[in-house]
Amino acid sequence: MPKVFGIGVFEFRHPRAAEYPLPADAAPATTAAPDKVPASTGGASITLLDIQRDRLTRVAAEHWGTPAAASAFDADLVREIYATELRVEGRSRKTVPLHRVMILEVSQYLENYLWPHFDPADASFEHVMSIILMVNEKFRENVAAWTCFHDRKDAFKGFLWWVLKLKEEERTLNMAEKTNYLLFMINAFQSLEDELVRETILQLVSLKLWNTLSFGRLQMELCLNPELIKKWTKIKRREAKEAKKADQPTNPSEMLENKFLRNLIEEFLEILDSKVILSSQDGGEESVLNESPSGQVDDSCVLYCERFMEFLIDMLSQLPTRRFLRPLVADVAVVAKCHLSALYTHEKGRLFAQLVDLLQFYEGFEINDHSGTQLGDDDVLQAHYSRFQAFQLLAFKQVPKLRDFALSSIGSLHKRADLTKKLLVLSDVELQDLVCNKEAVPHLHSYINNEGETAFRGWSRMAVPIKEFKITEVKQPNIGEVKPSAVTADVTFSISSYRHQIKSEWDALKEHDVLFLLSIRPSFEPLSPEEAAKSTVPERLGLQYVRGCEVIEIRDEEGTLMNDFTGRIKREEWKPPKGDIRTVRIALDTAQYHIDVTETAEKGAENVYGTFNILMRRKPKENNFKAILESIRDLMNETCVVPEWLHNIFLGYGNPSAAQWMNMPDLLEVIDFKDTFLDANHVQQSFPDYQVTFINSDGTENLHPSPPFKIRLSKKMRESSHALPGNVNSSLAVKNNNNVADGESQKEKLIVETYIPADPGPYPQDKPKQNSVRFTPTQIGAIISGVQPGLTMVVGPPGTGKTDTAVQILNVLYHNCPSQRTLIITHSNQALNDLFEKIMQRDVPARYLLRLGQGEQELATDLDFSRQGRVNAMLVRRLELLGEVSKLARSLRLPEDVGYTCETAAYFWLLHVYARWEQFLAACAQNQDKPSFVKDRFPFSEFFSDTPQPIFTGESFEKDMHAAKGCFKHLSTIFQELEECRAFELLKSTVERANYLMTKQAKIVAMTCTHAALKRRDFLQLGFKFDNLLMEESAQILEIETFIPMLLQRQEDGYARLKRCILIGDHHQLPPVVKNMAFQKYSHMDQSLFTRFVRLGVPYIELNAQGRARPSIAKLYNWRYRELGDLPYVREQAIFHKANAGFSFEYQLVDVPDYKGKGESAPSPWFYQNEGEAEYIVDVYIYMRLIGYPANKISILTTYNGQKLLIRDVINKRCKPHNIEPPNKVTTVDKFQGQQNDFILLSLVRTRFVGHLRDVRRLIVAMSRARLGLYVFCRRSLFEQCYELQPTFQLLLQRPDKLALNLEECTPFTERPLGETGNIHYVTGIEDIGHLVKFRLEHLRQMQYMQYYAPPANELPPAVPENIAVIPSENGSVPNQPNEHMAVEENGGASDTTVGNKMEEDAVEAKDETMQEGDKTGEGNGDGDVAAKDKDDEHADANDKMEEGEATSKDQIEEETSEPKDKMD
């Protein structure tokens, strides 16, 4: 037989479905969860036979079963049915008899009887309540409830008015009726999409509702929302006019629609306060009481309270109902009174307590109630502080007892415990009077909000409201296209409300930066909880449109151009931006603009470009996506994208060694190594498999060779090289080569030609800069391979001189191929600057060097190598050279006007200078037997009269002739440079000069891969060309970022011009950072092109000698490489043979147990911290500083951002009070890649799981940063079991896992040799090292005291000045000095508080960013958050400033402590 099913367990998140309990005799179908109070005891079912046999079915058939029967209405029948079948008495959770309601609803009691005969004029209470119950039942059954009411719209308004008046009736509703009534209101407010319901029900939550607010709350709300003042004034005038017309005074607060909700809330609070918990006399036979230790509870009241919480939650979760109701809820203090109620803590009030907490969340929801815009953290915090300030002002004016509270800082009051403590000075009566009778009117700053427009409160770091948006130009489409060729617009915004740091970030916007235009419009359509859960962020925030744009230029308030890198503004003419108004000229997406305009014109769609009100930016490091995507698109449309010799290798097929230089055409037969070799022995050591023979230029043997050298390629050199595939061991290759050599009669000869270089000139600046690095044989092989055409891959393990090798390749390449141009690409600005600074120390003229991008300002040089800087340098150099030409003309007794322009100087060179030189050479050829002939007849002697040393001796013709050629070389260089300056003389525009410099003049151009992607289109348009490509850090560069720099030039006759590609990196260290886990794992996007080539078997040269770390420390990571040995430098220098003062070992693993009962913690996802390791490391750092280790020689590394911030916090709190400088850097292992320091303190953080350190590449980076000392703090039991880390940790665990110190050494200098431990003191734990540090600090304090305060024998000790912070002992006092502890508190307390608060803000900000990026970065590889980056910069700046005074402070301490120490000894 068919069944009609009822309901299940109550779920408060689905408020539309009305819930009713079943009768007591109904069999439960489900069991309620213990933490929820079910509205029914189970599922209900009723059969069709039961319905047919029921009395109500017969009554329905008789009275409303047919149209004829329904025409006759009996009001008494309605009263009878309600009284006998629908009304529920008692204190149970049962509000209606479910079966009876179901039968009446099935019989269409509402549609056929109740509603057709409803008359607002004479309707009864029972009639209205019956309709309410039927509507509730329809909602429970999830069927349309309001359909039948649409036929009588006027009557429906009367019905709703009747519903409101039920509360005014003399008849008192019982608790079940009140609950049903409240459920109807919930359903009504959840049906705002129905126009019939909305027109009437929204009147209850209109602005008129504020008539019931207290005076103070009303004034505060009007002050916060000044746009409502005009509307409020109109309402008051209309009410006054109506009262005058009616000729009787009216009180708006007593009007039914105005006071309804306030009365409803006050009724709820009365029930919550007095009727939920029953007294003994309230009980009765009909009461269903729940006995509990905390009292007797009325279940019907509990259900009502739960329903009322649900009602308020629904009201506050919808903007149309929230807008004016929230101030009323706050005014009545509903949440506070619920928290103080007995039900909130009662065991039967668990669901109620959850709902109260949810109501508190919605009441304080971060949204502007009137505009629908989201509030920022600053807005919420500012509102919170404003309330405190208002309260303090009130207390200051009216409550003398709270004077201390009124003058306290908000930071000391904003927590509940602190506020409670301050209010304890008041009695209960005074406190009640303060809260209930006094009103505070806060003084808030209002903001201008134009009516009809979205307004924004607060601020966002990455977004700013738009003041004006205006499209300035739409260009005609190109031929064959329909979209405009360009669309530009001006966006005006203000940065006046931002801090200086954020202002500078907005001011740093530059050309090609991508911005986003947002249209935010709050949605007033209510969302059900189900819809809200499924809705997207744009739907919840009211985000209507998003359009991308690209910055063309940015101007300040006066219209002055900012951040111009095209050369339109000279650097010396640049001025700081004026005012706080910024105007950005942007380029819009032309295709999207065409689509939008077409939609508006043809379909009448909204004009998108008239709605933008937010301008949003991205982090600079993440803002290069557009340029890369454009480059990919352009490359997909090109036919030949890479050189033919690299094509097959790039695609991954063919012979992996096909692009090696031995297999390439057009090889350099003779290579001039210039200053690569330091001496002849260096040459012989570099070619151990050859018999090196030195010859002169004329072919004779040279028995005393000296550099420079030229080497002619031999047959054997072409057949073998240092490059090997990744699967070949170098030892095996050497062994095979030796076997071949043994079979030969003798080693192959290698002819090395020595020559005397031309004299560069008589002046010191003419002398070339010389290399001082003694390159290894492997490095020499890399240089040879790099100079030759083809693909060169160099793997550089830590400390093996990758950068020096790259620089020497560039130097040799420049001198051997002076007409070719080379492009340098790196991943980071720091690596590029390191490379560029070393190039400047080689014999490459500065005029041929160019550094592009934004990192040029960080170059450690006085010269400006940017485009604008090089142009200015060329113009200045032109004037200097023309002055030299005029000087030369004077010396030749010629007119000086030849130095007017570069053109006149060129004629002067041909007609006078070169002609005289040819005549001189001809005369010399006939007088070589005269030793003084050159000295007597040299035509330019007067010009070179100012040389530091005499040029000619007159004793040897050959020597004087060599010097004369040097002088002529100096002159020819002058006129050669002038010829290069001639273009800058002819080009008048700064932009043209800069473009010429980049495309023609510069021989070595350096930039980052990001800049290459951003500017590729510009490079192609300018005709930028280069022959050689060198990429540093290529193992850290994405494959696409490696690919794009190869294609920064157009093809020549269908062929790529690129001749050499030199990739230098280390695939055993960390790969490129890809935050999207799907791209990283499934697309393998974190694999660089360098790594892919290695995996494909492309031969590479692996540098095999490190010069960074002690050999013992290098063993911790050299197992990862083929045969990584040590340079003679680290084996011979004394510093590497002496132990670390104060430590028994140069490296050690320190086992850190749980600290305060816990190991690792994660305050937020991926934000791992370990307080024990942080405390331990900081104590060891303080110990090192007290010994005398310089702060700039110590770095603290960790594997997680959370630990980094924790260590910085501990350092600030522990070191600053004692004037101990912070270390050189506190950062993550990932951020420290490519850097080094003498001493590294490493925290591995994790105690439960190894985490991302299982990536061996991260381990290699961590172990290879230290030169002299490495101390690893971790949980031994965890890491020693990790299989991937065994080679390193087996070495670490060969030594004790407790920190071994040598306490006898108190200075940073020791003569103890490495390997001798001395008298070992093992640190047993964190407390032990803490006591040791405190003892050393106390010892230092006593020595300082003895020096400054020790009086003569006949004098008393002077008083301790207040500005001298004395370090207390462990018990907080110093013997015989009762006032010292007070001095510490006065001087150290405020500092600690300030520093602590600052670090808390830093940590919270970084944690928020880390949480936002946790989903992207997995376990956090150290690149988490933009905020982390900002903090790194801030701390780096602070560290730099602190390091300036380090040496001075150290010398002072040593000087101060030497004499007292001797006396104590």
Taking alpha carbons only, the member of 384, 263, 374 closest to residue 328 is: 263
Give phi and psi for 759, each to the nearest 5. Answer: -65, 120
Buried/exposed code over 811-828 (b: 16+ C-beta within 10 A; e: otherwise) = bbbbbbbeebbbbbbbbb
Report d(CA 1155, CA 1177) in Å as an integer: 13
In contact, 781 and 673? CB cutoff 8 Å: no
CB pairs under 8 A, 24+ apart, for 1305-1312? 1305/1141, 1305/1142, 1305/1187, 1306/1142, 1306/1187, 1306/1188, 1307/1141, 1307/1187, 1307/1188, 1308/1141, 1308/1187, 1308/1188, 1308/1189, 1308/1190, 1309/1141, 1310/1138, 1310/1139, 1310/1140, 1310/1141, 1311/1138, 1312/1138, 1312/1139, 1312/1141
Pairing, β 543-555 against β 561-562: antiparallel
Q: What is the mean pLDDT of the chain?
A: 79
Please report the pLDDT score of residue 1146 as a whole number: 94
Report d(CA 995, CA 804) in Å as an integer: 30
In contact, 198 and 157? CB cutoff 8 Å: no
Looking up tokens 């005076």, which residue turns up?
215
Report d(CA 881, CA 639) in Å as an integer: 47
Q: Count CB atoms within 10 A of the CB of residue 142.
A: 11
Q: Which amino acid is at 677?
A: F
Cα distances (Å, whole numbers) of residue 1266 to 800, 1121, 1122, 1256 = 14, 18, 21, 17
Please report the pLDDT score of residue 1082 as a whole number: 63
Q: Give the total residue count for the chain.
A: 1465
Report d(CA 69, CA 254) in Å as an integer: 43
Cβ burial, residue 212 (10 Å; 0-12/13-18/19+): buried
In contact, 1183 and 1142? CB cutoff 8 Å: yes
Please report the pLDDT score of residue 1297 as a whole number: 93
579: left (phi over 0), alpha (psi -120 to 50) or beta: left
Taking alpha carbons only, the member of 1416, 1427, 853 closest to residue 1086 is: 1416
Please report the pLDDT score of residue 149 as a whole number: 86
Please report the pLDDT score of residue 588 as a whole number: 94
Give yes or no for a cis peptide into 708 (omega within 30° of 0).
yes
CB pairs under 8 A, 24+ apart, for 1412-1419? 1413/1075, 1414/1164, 1414/1165, 1414/1166, 1414/1167, 1415/1077, 1416/1075, 1416/1076, 1416/1077, 1417/1075, 1417/1166, 1418/1077, 1418/1080, 1418/1166, 1418/1252, 1419/1166, 1419/1251, 1419/1252
Residue numbers in the chain where pLDDT is lower than 50: 1-45, 280-294, 437-450, 732, 734-735, 740-745, 1353-1465
Here the tokens at position 268 are 């709820």
Please report the pLDDT score of residue 72 as a whole number: 79
Report d(CA 542, CA 521) in Å as an integer: 5
Report d(CA 879, CA 992) in Å as an integer: 19
Please report the pLDDT score of residue 1050 as a whole number: 83
Pairing, β 1237-1243 against β 1266-1274: parallel
Q: Which amino acid is at 875?
A: L
Q: Which amino acid is at 534?
A: K
Q: Which amino acid is at 24?
A: A
Cβ burial, residue 270 (10 Å; 0-12/13-18/19+): exposed
Please report the pLDDT score of residue 564 as a whole number: 64
Q: Count CB atoms within 10 A of the CB of residue 1303.
A: 15
The DSSP code sequence of 493-560 is EE-TTS-HHHHHHHHT--TT-EEEEEEE----S---HHHHHHS-HHHHHTEEEEEEEEEEEEE-TT--
Q: Alpha helices, DSSP H only, in 71-152? A: 75-81, 98-106, 109, 125-140
